[in-house]
């Protein structure tokens, strides 16, 4: 039975959004429903009073000075969805779309947008019926495009994905016992507006980054043991003198993973210090964790924010309609770029450890980790693949927030580019997952040259998990299936929980 998340008195955090994205149901409590109703009454009063208010009874963007008749406001809302639904490229996967939808509901639930409550209920119904709007991944400079594709199915237009199959939205709604909904004043604008797109995407990026960071410690510990590192680098007294929270956590993880290693005990004192890719694991991995923590704080603030434009405040008898720039995603654009760099660095240092593992000049192990090298190339090309992905991450890590374009006839002349920045972060995380999979494969092969009984319990547990999917490499074979299998382990939350359970700690 799937978990259930209730949105009521308290705002959601990124973990709750990630839960809904992963399949948990979402419910609106009475307090959230009351806030939605109160805000909608203000919009209705604005229309009745004929007070000019952006997006409620005017055109949008550069057309904001055009005042519209009440009879045309429903058409304006529907046309807003149609005109903004111009995304391009492959569609986002279900988890990412669900995250955006959940962030939308969270934004509206603050009761400052004035969207029709029935449309918010409709979004919740799509989530809970596993009806996923088809959303092209590209074409957004900040928001608008992705959310237009999500809004259209509420009106019975566009497409929904059901069990992986794309269907006409109206027929998919009917099959699920749902109906297309009418749109009123401001509904179209609210459905495309605000920061839920970039926020939802970053919630998933954070969840994947957190998993990646834990695997980075596990796999690095395997490499460290295989290369017989000097454990003084992880001494708690030394690390306590640089008390960054991330470094402290990684140092604790490494000590737990390597505890009881006879191989390491025998290797102590054989060299004064190791290369930085081994010695600086707490400092490098820890710094990535610290940046992720900062990003998480920014995302949680955004989830607690009302990011529509205009916002409606007060009561139907004493209201204010405020045109402002809360939908601007500058904070999240910075956050996405920072998260991208932090996760790219995990891949970068992992590639350096792979290189040391396969290089007999520094590893003390057979060349490219295979016996009878020469006729066998071993894991030589694994390092090439890692280097390629690191190079790609380097390009993707160039910050997007500092770029800028002008849209909407000079009306929108500073853009955050936070949504493409978030998508870029997700791509870098996927690349780094593959780099860590390559290190996992390589470190596991390196440990096969050491007696199993000499290994630490933590690294032995990780090696056992690896061996359930990939056999020891005794002679050349096609490696692509092995790499894919190990990547699936890295991307599997259950595999990570298994190792944490065996260690008795949360990494």
Residue 54 bears catalytic tag: yes
* Ramachandran category for residue 61: left, alpha or beta (phi over 0 → left; psi -120 to 50 → alpha): left
What phi and psi values does residue 62 have, to the nearest 5 degrees? -70, -10
Burial of residue 498, with CB atoms counted within 10 A of its CB: 0-12 exposed, 13-18 middle, 19 or more buried: middle
> Tens digits of per-residue pLDDT, 120-161?
999 999 999 999 999 999 988 877 899 999 999 999 999 999
Asked if residue 209 and residue 184 are part of one domain, the reply reads: no
d(CA 444, CA 466): 7
Point out the domain boundary residue: 171, 193, 215.
Answer: 193
- Rg, C-alpha atoms of the chain: 26
d(CA 171, CA 71): 28
How crowded is residue 488: how many other Cβ atoms within 10 Å of its Cβ? Answer: 13
d(CA 117, CA 201): 24
d(CA 290, CA 98): 27
> Tens digits of per-residue pLDDT, 226-281?
999 999 999 999 999 999 999 999 999 999 999 999 999 999 999 999 999 999 99
Asked if residue 189 and residue 207 are part of one domain, the reply reads: no
* Ramachandran category for residue 89: left, alpha or beta (phi over 0 → left; psi -120 to 50 → alpha): left
Give the start-end residues of each E strand in 114-205.
Answer: 132-133, 136-138, 159-162, 165-168
Catalytic residue among 54, 108, 143, 473: 54
Q: How many domains does the chain have?
A: 2
Asked if residue 218 and residue 185 are part of one domain, the reply reads: no
485: domain range? 202-503
Name the band, by pLDDT with cuts 50, 70 and 90, for residue 296: very high
Point out the domain boundary residue: 193, 217, 248.
Answer: 193
Asked if residue 263 and residue 167 are part of one domain, the reply reads: no
Three-state secondary-structure class, residue 223: helix
d(CA 287, CA 239): 13
Helices and strands in the chain, H and E counts: 21, 9
Name the band, by pLDDT with cuts 50, 70 and 90, for residue 55: confident
Residues above pLDDT 90, as percent of the chain: 88
Asked if residue 144 and residue 31 are part of one domain, the reply reads: yes
Query: What pLDDT is recorded for position 1?
Result: 47
Asked if residue 390 and residue 241 are part of one domain, the reply reads: yes
Point out the domain boundary residue: 193, 226, 254.
Answer: 193
Three-state secondary-structure class, residue 406: coil
What phi and psi values does residue 260 have, to the nearest 5 degrees? 80, 10
């Amino acid at each position: 039975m799937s978990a259930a998340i209730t949105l009521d008195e308290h705002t959601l955090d990124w973990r709750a959004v990630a839960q809904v994205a992963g399949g948990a149901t979402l419910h609106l409590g009475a307090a959230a429903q009351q806030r939605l109703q109160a805000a909608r009454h203000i919009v209705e009063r604005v229309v009745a009073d004929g007070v000019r208010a952006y997006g409620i009874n005017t055109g949008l963007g550069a057309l904001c000075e055009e005042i519209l008749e009440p009879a045309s406001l429903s058409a304006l809302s529907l046309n807003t969805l149609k005109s903004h639904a111009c995304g391009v490229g492959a569609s986002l996967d279900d988890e990412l779309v669900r995250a955006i939808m959940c962030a939308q509901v969270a934004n509206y639930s603050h009761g400052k947008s004035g969207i029709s409550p029935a449309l918010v209920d409709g979004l919740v119904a799509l989530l809970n019926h596993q009806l996923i709007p088809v959303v092209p991944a590209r074409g957004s400079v900040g928001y608008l495009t992705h959310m237009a594709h999500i809004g259209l199915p509420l009106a019975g237009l566009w497409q929904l994905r059901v069990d992986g199959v794309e269907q006409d939205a109206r027929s998919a709604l009917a099959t699920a016992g749902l109906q297309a909904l009418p749109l009123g004043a401001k509904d179209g604008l609210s459905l495309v507006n605000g920061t839920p797109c970039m926020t939802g995407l970053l919630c998933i990026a954070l969840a994947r980054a957190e998993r990646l960071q834990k695997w980075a410690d596990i796999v690095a510990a395997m490499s460290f043991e295989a290369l017989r590192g000097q454990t003084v680098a992880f001494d708690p007294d030394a690390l306590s003198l640089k008390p960054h929270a991330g470094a402290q956590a990684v140092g604790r993880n490494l000590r737990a993973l390597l505890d009881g290693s006879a191989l390491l005990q025998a290797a102590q004192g054989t060299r004064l210090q190791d290369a930085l890719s081994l010695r600086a694991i707490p400092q490098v991995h820890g710094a990535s964790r610290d940046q992720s923590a900062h990003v998480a704080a920014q995302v949680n603030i955004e989830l607690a924010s009302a990011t529509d434009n205009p916002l409606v405040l007060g009561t139907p008898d004493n209201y204010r309609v405020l045109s402002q720039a809360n939908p601007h995603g500058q904070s999240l654009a910075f956050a996405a770029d920072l998260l991208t760099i932090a996760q790219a660095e995990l891949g970068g240092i992992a590639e350096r450890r792979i290189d040391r593992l396969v290089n007999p000049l520094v590893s003390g192990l057979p060349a490219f980790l295979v016996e009878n090298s020469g006729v066998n190339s071993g894991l030589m090309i694994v390092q090439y693949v890692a280097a390629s992905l690191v190079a790609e991450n380097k390009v993707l890590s160039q910050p997007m927030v500092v770029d800028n374009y002008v849209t909407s006839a000079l009306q929108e002349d500073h853009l955050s580019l936070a949504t493409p920045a978030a998508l870029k972060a997700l791509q870098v995380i996927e690349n780094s997952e593959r780099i860590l999979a390559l290190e996992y494969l390589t470190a596991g092969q390196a440990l096969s040259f050491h007696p199993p009984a000499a290994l630490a319990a933590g690294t032995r547990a990780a090696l056992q998990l690896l061996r359930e999917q990939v056999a020891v490499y005794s002679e050349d074979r096609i490696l692509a299936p092995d790499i894919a299998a190990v990547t699936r382990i890295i991307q599997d939350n259950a595999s990570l929980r298994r190792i944490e359970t065996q260690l008795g700690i949360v990494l």
